[in-house]
């Protein structure tokens, strides 16, 4: 608690409906007790304290009918000297007269005593407003004011006025009405033999209502690049390619067989098995809408994956579908901590696919849902009270000075691209200061002055004691920010490998690069506000100077006319399934083995697979080069054929024609040799792919049981 003298009081007419609001037009009145103290709170009530000198054993009070319940709920009567509570009694409330209920408090005896009455009744909440005066000294002058509305219908004369805010709860409760309880009438019963009551079991029904937010068929779930469902049967196609090349034996036949990279593209666009994919734009819209819904609600959900009856490895595929959908929602901005993926396997009545359901609410011991958000910021407490008395006439409002102090502070720039009213291009000119009081400064407008003039205004969230606040007040476009973002996956742990399908935990890394340019003529501090939703962790970046919930502030010193770079890297774990026969799968494993070590046998087996894949890539590059050279030869042969045909009409062109015919024979021999080389290279590629597939089929790894398992693999 902290007291402040009243530096200034401004009485103004109560605005709007405050003065004329009939709900607050009456007040608790007594001729024997004068009002001495009023404390107005932010939760819709005010604390009143009255003092009375009583010579008899009775004290009469007129209580407004609409305030009688609050009055009875909170009334205390105590001896002013000892502070002890006095026993009181009053007649049962009768009918109200002109909206007033007359109550007589019966004191224990007729001894003269000074008593204090205190009670809580409904009142308008007070409103804070602040002034900040900045200078070059590293200090900020802070002034705080509370606007208090006296709508009680009573003049506050020479009253100590205070304002406060806390986590205190307030409610209505009927204590005015007489409450009778109905009781059953029992009769004498001579029956001594009675049947015993039926026993029961005490239990709590733990079921909660399930809300399905979205349901997706298997074809609605987009497969990422390199997934086994879209990789295609590489070995079968390689065999078909080689067979076609052998059968034709010509350059044309060799050129018609597609390369493996083209096969990957075709397989991704048109899966070889399963239902035809639906409209991609409709899928994107559905996912984007769901992601926006989850980001706005911030509620936790569970993604359930399903497999159809008869599907091989049903449990694994059900979980894979749930993980794919979870990954896609995270890529669209949903916090990883909001989304849990589970595999349900085969469930009667459900086809392969996934659905998003609301996560079960936490149940308290009494069986009710918890209304407390564990991530909500703490509720601060504040109390400001005058030391000197003041007068506030009924129907007017007063501006009461609650704080006037110097605070540590400075003018900085704040770059905030994530907030609703933020800017992704320019940084806001702001005031950064530390709360110098022992109370929480409630949320309210802040007007900023500097060099004897108005320079802007902003809004402040509640500022706890000793906490630092940053208040944007102007957008002068002196600090420009260029922003770039990228994402990447880094494999962190092998989970399962079976027949080429690799399931792994990957670190999904999101990198944000900021180029901060200072166009002003003086060096400045730029604070970058970066939101890190639950489930993400900062893996690279400078140390944060402040942290507000999910937001962090990073400080960057930027000299005049210069630029500075800031890179922030954050990661979250995802589970992905890729085909080890695809370039995506190979690159993921290759990068993983550079930084991590598995079982020596597993390492050796995977390295042999990578070497075979490199051999296949080299063979494909050689085939591609040979085909390009064969195309060039064929174009040249067409040119020579046309030239020779033209020379047949020229009598003196015999020598040149002979030369061109010789050159055409040489190129024809080169085409034939190129065709032979292509067929030979394709045979080598087919053998390498078959060997790769054979070795891959022998490799099996499963860490889900805690121990890696690998089948014997031929060297």
Q: Using a pLDDT cut of 70, give the percent of the chain over it.
A: 76
pLDDT of residue 172: 67
- Lowest-pLDDT choice from 230-234, 530-534, 586-590: 230-234
Residue 422 — very low, low, confident or very high, per pLDDT cuts 50/70/90? confident
pLDDT tens for 324-337 read: 999 889 988 888 88
pLDDT at 51 exceeding the cut of 80: yes
pLDDT of residue 255: 37
The overall average pLDDT reported for the chain is 77
Question: Where is pLDDT greater, at 696 or 341?
Answer: 341
Cα dihedral value 405, 411, 416, 422, nearest 10: 80
Cα–Cα distances in angstroms (integers) from residue 626 to residues 260, 614, 621, 674, 677, in the given order:
16, 18, 9, 6, 8
Q: Using a pLDDT cut of 90, give the percent of the chain over it.
A: 16
Best-predicted range by mean pLDDT among 47-56, 93-102, 645-654?
A: 47-56
pLDDT at 201 exceeding the cut of 70: no
pLDDT of residue 8: 44
Question: pTM here?
Answer: 0.70
pLDDT tens for 360-405 read: 755 444 445 555 555 555 555 777 777 788 888 888 888 888 889 9
At residue 694, what are phi and psi to the nearest 5 degrees?
-65, -45
Residue 258 — very low, low, confident or very high, per pLDDT cuts 50/70/90? very low
Pairing state of beta strands 390-392 and 76-79?
unpaired
SS (H, E, C) 48-108: EEEEEEECCCEEEEEEEHHHHHHHHHHCEEEECCCCCECCCECCCCCCCECCEEEEEEECC
Question: Where is pLDDT greater, at 189 or 87?
Answer: 87
- What does the longest C-alpha to C-alpha distance in the chain come to? 151
For range 685-704, the mean pLDDT:
78
pLDDT tens for 61-71 read: 787 877 777 77
CA distance 28 to 61: 7
CA distance 570 to 330: 13
For range 19-43, the mean pLDDT:
70
pLDDT at 342 exceeding the cut of 80: yes
Question: Where is pLDDT greater, at 105 or 338?
Answer: 338
Cα dihedral value 576, 580, 586, 589, nearest 10: 60
pLDDT of residue 523: 93
pLDDT at 710 exceeding the cut of 80: no
């Amino acid at each position: 608690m902290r007291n402040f003298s009243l530096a200034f009081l401004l009485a103004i007419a109560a605005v709007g409906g405050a003065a004329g609001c009939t709900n607050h037009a009456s007040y608790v009145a007594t001729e024997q007790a004068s009002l001495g103290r009023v404390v107005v709170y932010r939760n819709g009530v005010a604390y009143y304290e009255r003092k009375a000198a009583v010579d008899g054993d009775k004290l009469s009070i007129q209580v407004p009918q609409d305030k009688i319940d609050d009055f009875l709920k909170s009334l205390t009567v105590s001896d002013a000297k000892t502070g002890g509570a006095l026993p009181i009694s009053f007649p049962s409330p009768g009918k109200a007269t002109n909206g007033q209920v007359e109550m007589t408090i019966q004191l224990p005896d007729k001894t003269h005593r000074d008593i204090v009455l205190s009670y809580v009744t409904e009142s308008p909440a007070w409103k804070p407003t602040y002034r900040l005066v900045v200078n070059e000294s590293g200090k900020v002058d802070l002034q705080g004011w509370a606007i208090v509305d006296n709508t009680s219908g009573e003049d506050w004369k020479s009253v100590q006025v205070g304002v406060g805010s806390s986590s205190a709860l307030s409610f209505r409760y009927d204590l005015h009405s007489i409450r009778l309880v109905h009781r059953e009438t029992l009769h004498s019963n001579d029956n001594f033999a009675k049947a015993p009551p039926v026993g029961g079991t005490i239990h709590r029904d733990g079921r909660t209502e399930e809300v399905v937010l979205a349901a997706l068929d298997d074809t609605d779930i987009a497969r990422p690049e390199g997934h086994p469902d879209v990789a295609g049967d590489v070995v079968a196609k390689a065999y078909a390619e080689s067979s076609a090349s052998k059968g034709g034996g010509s350059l044309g036949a060799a050129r018609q067989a597609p390369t493996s990279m083209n096969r990957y593209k075709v397989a991704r666009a048109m899966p070889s098995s399963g239902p035809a994919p639906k409209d991609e734009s409709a899928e994107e819209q559905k996912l984007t809408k769901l992601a926006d819904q989850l980001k706005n609600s911030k509620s936790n959900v569970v993604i359930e994956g399903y497999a159809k009856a008869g599907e091989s490895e049903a449990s694994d595929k059900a979980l894979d579908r749930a993980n794919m959908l979870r990954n896609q929602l995270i890529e669209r901005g949903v916090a990883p901590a909001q989304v849990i993926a589970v595999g349900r396997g085969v469930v009667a009545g459900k086809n392969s696919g996934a659905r998003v359901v609301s996560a079960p609410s936490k149940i308290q011991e009494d069986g009710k849902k918890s209304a407390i958000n564990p991530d909500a910021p703490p509720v601060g407490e504040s109390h400001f009270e005058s030391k000197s008395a003041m007068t506030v006439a009924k129907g007017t409002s007063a501006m009461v000075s609650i704080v006037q102090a110097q605070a540590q502070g400075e003018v900085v720039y704040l770059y905030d691209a994530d907030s609703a009213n933020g800017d992704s291009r320019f940084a806001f000119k702001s005031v950064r200061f530390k709360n110098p009081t022992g109370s929480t400064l409630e949320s309210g407008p802040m007007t900023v002055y500097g060099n004897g003039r108005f320079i802007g205004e902003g809004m402040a969230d509640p500022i706890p004691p000793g906490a630092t606040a940053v208040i944007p007040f102007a957008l002068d476009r002196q600090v420009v920010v260029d922003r770039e973002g990228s994402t990447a996956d880094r494999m962190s742990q092998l989970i399962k490998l079976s027949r080429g399908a690799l399931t792994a935990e990957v670190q999904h890394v999101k990198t944000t690069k900021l180029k901060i340019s200072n166009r002003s003529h003086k060096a400045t501090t730029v604070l970058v506000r970066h939101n890190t939703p639950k489930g993400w962790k900062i893996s690279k970046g400078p140390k944060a100077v402040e942290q507000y919930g999910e937001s962090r502030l990073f400080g960057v010193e930027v000299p005049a006319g210069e630029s500075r770079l800031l890179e922030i890297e954050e990661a979250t774990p995802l589970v992905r399934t890729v085909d080890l026969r695809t370039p995506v799968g190979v690159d993921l494993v290759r990068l993983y083995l550079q930084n991590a070590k598995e079982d020596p046998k597993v390492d050796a087996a995977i390295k042999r697979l990578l070497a075979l894949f490199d051999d296949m890539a080299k063979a494909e590059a050689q085939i591609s080069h040979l085909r390009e050279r064969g195309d060039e030869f064929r174009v040249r042969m067409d040119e020579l054929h046309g030239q020779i045909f033209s020379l047949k009409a020229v009598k003196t062109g015999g020598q040149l024609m002979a030369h061109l015919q010789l050159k055409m024979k040489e190129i024809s021999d080169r085409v034939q040799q190129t065709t032979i080389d292509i067929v030979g290279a394709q045979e080598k590629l087919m053998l390498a792919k078959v060997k790769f597939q054979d070795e891959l089929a022998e490799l099996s790894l499963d860490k889900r049981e805690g121990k890696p398992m690998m089948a014997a693999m031929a060297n």
